[in-house]
Chain A
Amino acid sequence: MRERVLPVLIVVLAIVTLWYVACLPMNIREVLTEAERAGALVTPSTAIERRDAGAIALVLSNSDHLARSWSQERAKLPAPHQVAIEIWDSTIGEEVYGRRGIVQSGSFSNRSLVYHTGITLWATVLGFVIGTGLGVLLAVGIVHSRTMDMSVMPWAIVSQTIPIVALAPMIIVVLYSVGVQGMFPKAVISAYLSFFPVVVGMVKGLRSPDAMQLDLLRTYSASPMEALFKLRLPASVPYLFASLKIGIAASLVGAIVGELPVQKGGLGARMLAGSYYGQTSQIWAALFAAATLAAVLVFAIGAMERRTLRRMGVAG
């Protein structure tokens, strides 16, 4: 355990240190402008000279003013602790202590990350379930019909090489114009992003039983239906979980991108709002919320995979 955790911790620590160091050149210009306005002496004394100077040179020649780099209100690169404070404020702070929070008003505050993460989560999960279900159905069809296999499968593979997420804004706006709005349009995007990986993975999985096993079932005079449920579907489970992990990550990206055109809550809307108003720590907080959400979702599927495979006796 120690051998595995220690290097990871050191790497994470190195990243955080690097982040703090990077704050210096990233924020130096704003820091110096602020210091000059407050009456302090900064080394190239005019703004024009500072504009032409390099960020690192500015850092080196103004070592007394650097401390402010980590406490800028709208920093170009907020320091890790600023992001942590923003995350705390917009989750626990807002929900527990805020006037709109769940403790005092009974419903999640629409300013809190919990609320926005929830919106994204439901769209992701709904889309993921739809996409996975349809994907499995199509895969079963492909395995059983040679016509379907030869007609559809090449397109399913080609579709993985094209950026289908480009369709997202159009789907949102078109569905909005026919009166469908809210969670469903985002779920549609999530669904088609998770659909193709599942189809490709499931076809591979359903085909994974070898000729000997299929022949055995034939000697039992098993019908195609029985072969599907007793051999092909169980054999495809490891492949299914591998593509589910890809699918859920794709679904989350779909939901976030789907939230960009219509600003009605969600992590994507939060990021775009942050970038409109220069609230960098809000963007970073939303980014970390999205990362946590992705990690939790992938981990949940991994846990399901381990449990299922252990019960099936596939993995020891």
Chain B
Amino acid sequence: MIPLSLALVVWAAGWALNARLANGPLSNTRLGQMAVPAIFGLTVLVMWELVVRGLNVPQVILPAPSAIGAAFGANVNVLWADFVQTILKGGLSGYVMGCGAALCIAVLVDRFDFLRRGLLPVGSFMAALPIVGTAPILVMWYGFGWQSKAAVVVLMVFFPMLVNTVAGLGDTSAMQRDLMRTYGAGYWQTLWKLRLPAALPFIFNGLKISTTLALIGAIVAEFFGSPTVGLGFRISTSVGQLALDVVWAAILVAALAGSAFYGVVTLAERGLTFWHPSQRAQKTNGTMRPGKTNRRQRQISKEV
């Protein structure tokens, strides 16, 4: 019983500390904004450990965080191979191909009005479908290797990316396009210098949605058949062996990879769309009074 009551104490202490931080003067600083979720996460982890120990929860139902950490440490080499197979070979290559193809098609769709009216409704319809269901077919076509996973990822990221990019390319005002015309700019110049940069926030929105979809596609496709390496393979076989600590370690790898992937895309966005109001407002957060910029930002975030 001691670990259980200790868990409750930890919970109460963590919550009280957070309540204090969140309602105190620190809450508007960067430190406070980092510390509160970190304390919350830590509290949950400690409680998880104490509850699992206190109730003697069997390892095959819920392993304690310490056991998961130990499994992670013991299987670093295996998990690294899984990471390379699933995330780098399957996910990333499919992501690059799918997003690249969607960008090119989006420029075409934007150029020809007929395609926009014909392809775009089909595209937005496809974006809502459970495309992950094509995994068994693609595994049958391209074999168990990473190529079939990349193919699933291509299909999964293509349509959200297409819809977002086309929306972005249409986001210039008539005034801006007229200005380009008065400069005597042709179609391609207008595309490169005005419309693609203006579309960047939308393109990055698509890229960010696609990071998660790419990982989901790469992992779920492995449930339909894979070589003896890969995160999806590790998860499904370790579940079969009831080695749940390894399963959790594999999920931890997937989670870290997903956050890192998203983080890299966000950093790239910050570097390339520094001119956009939503980015500028973030940088000067705290000193900015609710005024013109914030209203514009709100408008944009609503549009996006």
A residues contacting B by CB (< 8 A) are: 3-4, 7-8, 10-12, 15, 26, 76-77, 146-147, 149-155, 158, 160-163, 165-167, 169-170, 173-174, 177-178, 211, 245, 249, 252-253, 256-257, 260-261, 267-268, 271-272, 274-275, 278, 280, 283-284, 286-287, 290-291, 294-295, 298
A294 pairs with B40, CB closer than 8 A: no
In the complex, what residues of A have CB within 8 A of residue B140's CB? 76, 275, 278, 280, 283
B22 pairs with A155, CB closer than 8 A: no
Q: What are 27 A-B pairs at a CB distance below 8 A?
A: A15-B122, A26-B141, A76-B140, A147-B23, A147-B36, A150-B36, A151-B36, A154-B37, A161-B258, A162-B254, A163-B219, A165-B219, A166-B235, A166-B254, A174-B61, A253-B216, A261-B239, A268-B133, A272-B224, A280-B140, A283-B137, A283-B140, A287-B133, A287-B134, A291-B130, A294-B130, A298-B128
- Bitwise interface map of B from 9 to 20 toward A, beta carbon under 8 Å scored 1, else 0: 000000100110
B18 pairs with A163, CB closer than 8 A: no
A170 pairs with B244, CB closer than 8 A: yes
Q: A239 CB to closest chain B CB, in angstroms?
A: 10
How many angstroms from the CA of A169 to the CA of B119 in the assembled complex? 36
How many angstroms from the CA of A149 to the CA of B36 in the assembled complex? 10
B121 an interface residue at 8 Å Cβ cutoff? yes
A295 pairs with B254, CB closer than 8 A: no
Q: Name the residue on B nearest A193 (C-beta).
A: B216
Partner of A76, one of B40, B141, B259: B141
Partner of A8, one of B15, B23, B27, B118: B118
Known: A280-B137, A283-B137. A249 touches B258 (CB 8 A): no
How many angstroms from the CA of A252 to the CA of B131 in the assembled complex? 11
Q: B294 CB to closest chain A CB, in angstroms?
A: 11
A294 pairs with B62, CB closer than 8 A: no
Q: Which residue among B60, B140, B242 has the maximum number of chain A CB atoms within 10 Å of its CB?
A: B140
A162 pairs with B133, CB closer than 8 A: no
Q: Name the residue on A nearest B290 (C-beta).
A: A211
In the complex, what residues of A have CB within 8 A of residue B216's CB? 163, 165, 253
- Bitwise interface map of B from 217 to 229 toward A, beta carbon under 8 Å scored 1, else 0: 0011001110000
In the complex, what residues of A have CB within 8 A of residue B22's CB? 146-147, 149-151
B261 pairs with A170, CB closer than 8 A: no
Q: A176 CB to closest chain B CB, in angstroms?
A: 10
Known: A146-B27, A154-B37, A155-B37. A170 touches B121 (CB 8 A): no
How many angstroms from the CA of A257 to the CA of B236 in the assembled complex? 12
B117 an interface residue at 8 Å Cβ cutoff? yes
Q: Besides A8-B117, A298-B128, 4 other CB < 8 A contacts?
A: A154-B37, A161-B212, A261-B236, A286-B133
B117 pairs with A4, CB closer than 8 A: yes
Q: Name the residue on B nearest A10 (C-beta).
A: B118
A166 pairs with B251, CB closer than 8 A: yes
Q: Name the residue on B nearest A165 (C-beta).
A: B216
Q: What's the count of A-B pairs with C-beta under 8 Å?
A: 163
A295 pairs with B23, CB closer than 8 A: no
In the complex, what residues of B have CB within 8 A of residue A170's CB? 235, 239, 244, 247-248, 251
- Bitwise interface map of B from 246 to 282 toward A, beta carbon under 8 Å scored 1, else 0: 0110110011001101100000000000000000000
Q: Name the residue on B nearest A271 (C-beta).
A: B136
Q: Which residue among A15, A153, A162, A167 has the maximum number of chain B CB atoms within 10 Å of its CB?
A: A162
Q: B18 CB to closest chain A CB, in angstroms?
A: 5
B211 an interface residue at 8 Å Cβ cutoff? yes
How many angstroms from the CA of A74 to the CA of B238 in the assembled complex? 33
B103 an interface residue at 8 Å Cβ cutoff? no
B215 an interface residue at 8 Å Cβ cutoff? yes
Instruction: Name the interface residues of B121-147: CB closer than 8 Å to any CB of A.
Output: 121-122, 125, 128-130, 132-134, 136-137, 139-141
How many angstroms from the CA of A152 to the CA of B215 in the assembled complex? 24
Instruction: Name the interface residues of B91-117: CB closer than 8 Å to any CB of A.
Output: 114-115, 117
B41 an interface residue at 8 Å Cβ cutoff? yes
B232 an interface residue at 8 Å Cβ cutoff? yes
In the complex, what residues of A have CB within 8 A of residue B23's CB? 146-147
Q: Name the residue on A nearest B32 (C-beta).
A: A150
How many angstroms from the CA of A286 to the CA of B242 in the assembled complex? 30
B18 pairs with A151, CB closer than 8 A: yes
A152 pairs with B220, CB closer than 8 A: no
How many angstroms from the CA of A260 to the CA of B224 in the assembled complex? 9
How many angstroms from the CA of A37 to the CA of B67 in the assembled complex? 59
In the complex, what residues of A have CB within 8 A of residue B232's CB? 166
Partner of B41, one of A7, A77, A155, A272: A155
Q: Name the residue on A nearest B234 (C-beta).
A: A166
A294 pairs with B224, CB closer than 8 A: no
Q: A3 CB to closest chain B CB, in angstroms?
A: 7
A11 pairs with B259, CB closer than 8 A: no
How many angstroms from the CA of A173 to the CA of B41 in the assembled complex? 26
B33 an interface residue at 8 Å Cβ cutoff? yes
Known: A161-B211, A163-B216, A174-B244. A147 touches B118 (CB 8 A): no
In the complex, what residues of A have CB within 8 A of residue B262's CB? 161
B203 an interface residue at 8 Å Cβ cutoff? no
How many angstroms from the CA of A287 to the CA of B140 in the assembled complex? 15
A147 pairs with B19, CB closer than 8 A: yes
In the complex, what residues of B have CB within 8 A of residue A153's CB? 37
B133 pairs with A275, CB closer than 8 A: no
